[in-house]
Amino acid sequence: MNTAPRTPTPTPADLTAWVASHRDDMVAELARYVDTETPSDDKECLDAALPGLDQWLTASLGTPAARRRFDGGVYGDTLVLDWPGARTGHGDGAPPVALLCHYDTVWTKGTVAERPFALEGDTATGPGVFDMKAGLVQAVWAVRALDALGLPRPPLRLVLNGDEELGSPGSRPVIEAEAGDAPAALVFEASAGGAVKTARKGVGLFRVTATGVEAHAGLDPANGVSAVDEIARAVLALHALTDTAAGTTVNVGVLAGGTRPNVAAGRAVADLDIRVSDGAETERVDRALAALRPHDPRASLALTGGWNRPVMARTEGIARLFELARAHAAEQGVELRECAVGGASDGNFVAALGVPVLDGLGAVGAGAHARDEHISIAGMTERTAVAARVLCALADPAVAAGLRPPAAASGTAA
């Protein structure tokens, strides 16, 4: 008779301890990643970094069932890796859960030499550590934890793009095609004060160009038409569109025009950023932009640009996914909060296709795009375990299927 003690079956509760025991390994990988420069506007750096990331992902998670690299042209390429589910009831061909991450940062080449990765106590600093290099490390280790403990996980598709900080101009169609049928998408962007993001504003990036008539400002003022005057009037009209109660903000962040003080300006431009919370506000702003007219009929105004990201509304599916995450985090002793934010991410794209999105699953810290960018290492291990619990729950086909209402399940935008 075999009297050897039985090995206890791992449970989701074991995830926290396993992840915590690998804290130093996570920090070491994060340090190497942060010190690998990946500026959004440097294609050469991005191309040099991506093969190393691919090798790290393969070494960490095993050889993918499928690997696709999409040429970004002048932008960073997008890497898509698929892994089959493990110990799950998902049938062959079941759409994978999407993991959305980006490897580009706002920091220019040379920043790492000035401010490399550093760790002091619980705080890690370095360019891109918060937005969003820690997020990818957390995603990797969440999957590793499940595999190490023999816990189930769903089929996975990691979409890793290199132009998110620029608005994902090259990767958007890839993201929509590769993640549009996912039962859920987990976005490992940084948290907002520890809260995950269940709603994001839509973003419009526009330019208004005023064309006037150049003339000597002193000798021939009557024949001159100042484009600067026209753009100034347009800026006042644009800022008047702001409606904070409705969640709409309009900001002219860049203004330029003219050539010399004694010449009526022949050209002036205004670059603006618009944020909206719903479709009705998008339509209102569109009507106002289309109605812009010059004050002087001899001048002209031209509008270029468009809506960079659609609104990510808190749909029923997103609410269900958050509740799933909140409940599993609570079992870990973590009070998971949600919030709506004005910033946008690649989650906006797939949410508009009806995919339930849980955004902000990445780092706990602060200072996105700022020199004081930092994260909490304790927060990194905590959120890694939370993400692992969510993935473990999504290994149940019934749970995954229950997130999407019937209309959204067919790909209809919610």
What confidence tens digit (pLDDT) does each residue in 146-159 have? 999 999 999 999 99
In this prediction the pTM is 0.90
Give percent above pLDDT 90 in the chain: 92
Same domain, yes or no: 83 and 134:
yes
Q: Which of 269, 286, 309 is the last residue of a domain?
A: 309
Q: Which two tokens stand for residue 336?
A: 């998971």
Q: pLDDT tens across 179-188, in order?
A: 999 999 999 9
Question: Is 1 within the bounds of a domain?
Answer: no
Is residue 303 located within the same domain as residue 173? Answer: no
Cα–Cα dist 250/270, whole Å: 12
* CATH code (residue 75): 3.40.630.10
Q: For position 273, which CATH number holds? A: 3.30.70.360
Do 373 and 336 reside in the same domain of the chain? yes
- Identity of the amino acid at 67: R
- DSSP H helices, 266-403, are 279-290, 316-331, 347-351, 377-394, 397-401
Nearest-angstrom CA–CA distance, 111 and 184:
35
pLDDT for res 409: 46
Say yes or no: 278 and 322 in one domain: no
In a domain, 163, yes or no: yes
Q: What is the pLDDT of residue 93?
A: 75
Please check whether residues 294 and 391 belong to one and the same domain. no
Phi, psi for 100 (deg, rounded to 5): -105, 125
Asked if the structure places residue 188 within a domain, the reply is yes
Structure token pair of residue 19: 């992840």
Residue 5 domain-assigned (yes or no):
no
State how far Cα 372 lies from the chain centre.
20
Residues 239 and 364 in one domain: no
Domain containing residue 24: 14-200+312-409
| Cα 397 to Cα 321: distance, rounded to the nearest angstrom | 14
Do 161 and 23 lie in one domain? The reply is: yes
- Beta bridge partners of residue 273, listed in sequence order: 205, 251
The phi and psi torsions of 353 (rounded to 5 degrees) equal: -90, 5
201 CB contacts (<8 Å, ≥6 apart)? Answer: 247, 275, 276, 277, 311, 312, 340, 341, 342, 343, 344
Of 309, 333, 352, which residue is a domain's last?
A: 309
When divided into structural domains, the chain yields a total of 2
Q: Does residue 4 fall inside a structural domain?
A: no
Q: Which residues pair with 263 in a beta bridge?
A: 216
Q: How confident is the model at residue 132 (pLDDT cuts 50, 70, 90)?
A: very high
Tokens of 11: 């449970």
Q: Are residues 80 and 149 in the same domain?
A: yes
The three-class DSSP label of residue 119 is strand
Phi first, then psi: give them for residue 379, nearest 5 degrees.
-65, -35
**Which pair of structure tokens corresponds to residue 158?**
């990691």
One domain for residues 195 and 138? yes
Give me the pLDDT at residue 404, please.
78
Handedness of CA 289, 274, 240, 228 (dihedral sign): negative
- Which of 266, 282, 309 is a domain's end point? 309
pLDDT category of residue 11 using cuts at 50, 70 and 90: confident
Q: Do 102 and 183 belong together in one domain? A: yes
Mean pLDDT, residues 240-248: 97
Domain for residue 334, yes or no? yes
Per-residue pLDDT of 328-366, as tens digits, reads 999 999 999 999 999 999 999 999 999 999 999 999 999
Note whether residue 3 is domain-resident: no
Residue linked to tokens 């050209």 = 267
Distances (CA, A) of 379 to 193, 258, 363: 11, 50, 7
Q: Please give the pLDDT value at position 407.
A: 55
**Which residue, 279, 276, 271, 282, is CA-closest to 202?**
276
Residue 64 pLDDT more than 80? yes
Q: Are residues 82 and 210 in the same domain?
A: no
| DSSP assignments along 129-197, one per residue | IIIIIHHHHHHHHHHHHHHHHT--B--EEEEEEE-GGGT-TTTHHHHHHHHTT-S-EEE-PPPBTTBEE
Q: Which residues contact 155 (CB under 8 A, 6 or more apart)?
A: 82, 83, 84, 85, 88, 90, 94, 95, 96, 97
Q: Is residue 2 part of a domain?
A: no
- 45 with 156, same domain: the answer is yes
Residue count (the chain):
414
